[in-house]
Amino acid sequence: MRVSVYRKEHFNAAHRLHSNSLNDLENKTVFGKCNNENFHGHNYELVVRVTGEVDPITGYVIDMKVLSDVIKEFILNKFDHRNLNLDTEEFKNLNPTAENIAVVVWDILSKQLDKKYTFKVWLYETERNFVEYPAAD
Ligand code: NI
């Protein structure tokens, strides 16, 4: 019996969207306000979905406390209240778009979660804009 469980977490971070492959005008055109060279912040909402078999003894797919602790230790401690461009190795050379953040978060969690699970992340950059990784069909 496979069931999906969801954990929602929150972090605040600053970023600047900028591509070295584009000139200044092109960067402004593509990224608009998000290209502001003095950075700006977002209140990110992160949803992690873990899918697996319900353990017959515990009745759990995964202990939510364990899932929460993994997200806190490996994602929130790294990104919360940071400048993603300046303070994190992951985005020194990678544009910190919601898309790229979601992929980085997934990659980090994939090293921490048991291989028996499949999982997916949703990252909300605003209430109206959010991304999903791995991609929907
Ligand atoms: Ni932004």
How far is Cα 57 from Cα 37, in angstroms, rounded to an integer?
54
pTM of the model: 0.96
**Residues near ligand 1 ion, CB 5 Å cutoff:** 34
pLDDT of the residue at 48: 98
Q: Which helix (H) or strand (E) holds 105?
A: helix 98-110
Look at residues 104, 107, 99 and name the one whose alpha carbon lies nearest to residue 131.
99
Q: Measure the N-to-C terminal CA separation of the chain; round to a whole number of Å.
A: 23
- Residues of the chain short of pLDDT 50, as ranges, are none
Active site residue 34: yes
Considering the segment(s) 2-133 as one domain, its CATH architecture is 2-Layer Sandwich (3.30)
pLDDT of the residue at 137: 82
| Cα angle for residues 43, 49, 54 (degrees, 5° grid) | 150
Q: How far is the CA of 94 from the centre of ligand 1 (A)?
A: 14
**For residue 129, which amino acid is it?**
N
**85-91 own/partner pairs: CB under 8 Å, 24+ apart:** 85/14, 85/15, 85/16, 85/18, 85/39, 91/15
Identify the active-site residue in 18, 42, 90, 125.
125
Active site residue 18: no
